[in-house]
Amino acid sequence: MTRVLVAPDKFKGSLTAAEVAAAVTRGLHAGAPGLEIRAVPVADGGDGTLAAAVAAGFERVPVTAAGPTGEPVATGYGRRGEVAVVEMADVSGLSRLPAGRPAPLTATSRGTGEVIAAALAGGARRVVVGIGGSACTDGGAGMLQALGARLLDADGRELPAGGGALGDLARVDLGRLHPAVAGAEIVVACDVDNPLTGPGGAAAVYGPQKGADEASVQLLDRNLAHLADRVADATGQDVRSAPGAGAAGGVGFAAMAVLGAALRPGIDLLLDLLDFAAQVRDADLVVVGEGSLDEQTLHGKAPVGVARMAREAGAAVVAVCGRSTLDEQQLRAAGIDAAYALAELEPDTARSMAHAAELLERVAADIAVRHLTPGPR
């Protein structure tokens, strides 16, 4: 029997990874009844990471934590034994901004720290934190405060939320840092190599995406440098120039400098958690996918990571997507035999997104006929 593994990422703004996998599975069955199909939705550390972990068997533990502007949000973490998966986008992400209004100077990563604290209190000894999609540029200050660190001004008062307040930081006190941090392994899923500050840093590169104008970018960059100075005073080490320190508005910096975290490419980390090597071992065909296959896909995004492991296991690989800007040579270099875009059936983007599940079923049925049934195509 032909075995197919369906392992897509989300179609952003349209379908979750699980919904993509379900639609593809229905279409494959329609095109070639009798297939053995296994669905393993994936993610690369951004939004959808928690859902992918839960789909792979992690238990979802609900948590109420502070959103990026301080309001409580219902979120959670994934738990399997002593391993926990935390998704920053689900608590401190752009999608959690009230009415979608950015708050470049005051948005906080506190909620991410609160979820990590809940996971540690629940017995986690390995915490995987996906940090894509954040709404803040606070250098991870809020996360550290939630974990017991004190960020104090010259009068000994705790700093308010956000990167805009970091210029008033006089001292970082780590004496009350959560005691479980020292005994835990914290791993951050991170796909960027930006330093904390400078023209390639968190504020300059990602600040505008979070609503920062030119003056705010300059202020945030100065404040992040000031934070790095005070953290170096407290820890005796300076990691502001380390690759990934600028990830998620500086959360990468705080995680490395204070929590002792290691940074790993997001898709590699998630595939390890999902035991993907075992999942793909006996597959004849693997279906990967995401909303847009483009140049960014080639730089460590989920479809390429999945395709690499599928190729190593000897499986053929096809991709589904909303649209593709990659040519055949680029696809093959990424380990993908062919790509099937919804835009080929419905060129109107709005209609394609609104009817993505139906279109995916049609595409998947075509894939089954072209790649999984005998005879002329």
All CATH 3.40.50.10350 domain ranges in the chain, comma separated:
3-42+275-372
DSSP code for 211: T
By the 10 Å C-beta count (0-12 exposed, 13-18 middle, 19+ buried), 357 is classed as middle
All CATH 3.90.1510.10 domain ranges in the chain, comma separated:
49-267
- The pLDDT of residue 300 is 80
- The pLDDT of residue 191 is 86
- The pLDDT of residue 373 is 76
Residue 328 tokens read as 């055949």
Read off the pLDDT of residues 202-238 as tens digits, 9 standing for 90 and up: 999 999 999 999 999 999 999 999 999 999 999 999 9
CATH 3.40.50.10350 fits 3-42+275-372, yes or no: yes
- The pLDDT of residue 117 is 98
- The pLDDT of residue 376 is 45
Q: Are 140 and 88 a contacting pair, CB within 8 Å?
A: no
Q: Are 365 and 31 a contacting pair, CB within 8 Å?
A: yes
Read off the pLDDT of residues 36-81 as tens digits, 9 standing for 90 and up: 999 999 998 999 999 999 988 999 999 999 999 999 999 999 999 9
Sheet of strand 36-39: strand arrangement:
36-39, 3-6, 285-293, 316-324, 338-341
- The pLDDT of residue 377 is 43
Helix (H, G, I), strand (E, B) or coil at 233: helix
From the list 339, 366, 315, the residue with the least C-alpha distance to 38 is 315
Residue with tokens 């595939």: 271
| pTM of the model as a whole | 0.92
Q: Report how far residue 140's alpha carbon sits from residue 119's, in angstroms, rounded to the nearest whole number.
A: 18
| pLDDT, averaged in runs of 10, over the chain (377 residues) | 93 94 98 95 92 93 98 98 97 96 98 98 97 96 98 98 98 97 96 95 97 98 98 97 97 98 93 93 96 91 95 97 97 97 97 98 97 67
C-alpha distance from residue 152 to each of 19, 167, 169, 223, 250 (Å): 46, 11, 6, 14, 19
CATH of the domain spanning 49-267, picked from 3.40.50.970, 3.40.710.10, 3.10.310.70, 3.90.1510.10: 3.90.1510.10
Neighbours of 100 (CB within 10 A): 8
Cα angle 286, 287, 292 (rounded to 5 degrees) comes to 145
**β strands within the chain, DSSP E:** 3-6, 36-39, 59-66, 72-80, 83-87, 126-130, 150-152, 171-173, 185-189, 262-264, 285-293, 316-324, 338-341
- The pLDDT of residue 130 is 96
CA atoms in the 13 A half-sphere facing the CB of 251: 37
The amino acid sitting at 22 is A
